[in-house]
Amino acid sequence: MQITVLKAKFHSACVTHAELAYDGSCAIDGVLLEKAGIHEYEQIQIYNINNGERFTTYAIRAQDHSGIISVNGAAAHKASPGDRVIICSYGVINESEIIKYKPTLIYLDEHNNIMRIQDHIPVQAA
């Protein structure tokens, strides 16, 4: 059996632009895309921490080291500059691979600088 798993995540990315008059997609700093292993035109899910909106689009490469997270086209109605979002990509693996599988989790600051990269979510005490 195959299962869908989290491939990569940008946690608390800060939206820098919302461009309504654009064909669509989400432009992401090219260095961030490389660190996460997300390819240009790959489907991504965006979860807006500020307003609860959740939507699907695809990634395009923004200028390296720019810190850009630009939500474009119709999706620009769902996020505004300054909003904090979680951006996820998913992949499909064989269920037998789940024991060894590790996603790439990238935690960003308010300027979209990498604070840390992990391969698991630590268990928090209740």
Q: Strand 84-94 vs strand 69-72: parallel, antiparallel, or unpaired?
A: unpaired
* 28 and 38 Cβ atoms separated by less than 8 Å: yes
The residues annotated as belonging to the active site are 25, 58
For residue 83, the 8-state DSSP code is -
For residue 22, the 8-state DSSP code is S
* 42 and 73 Cβ atoms separated by less than 8 Å: no
Q: 46 vs 2, 9, 29, 50, 120, CA distance in Å?
A: 23, 10, 15, 12, 19
Q: Strand 2-14 vs strand 104-108: parallel, antiparallel, or unpaired?
A: parallel
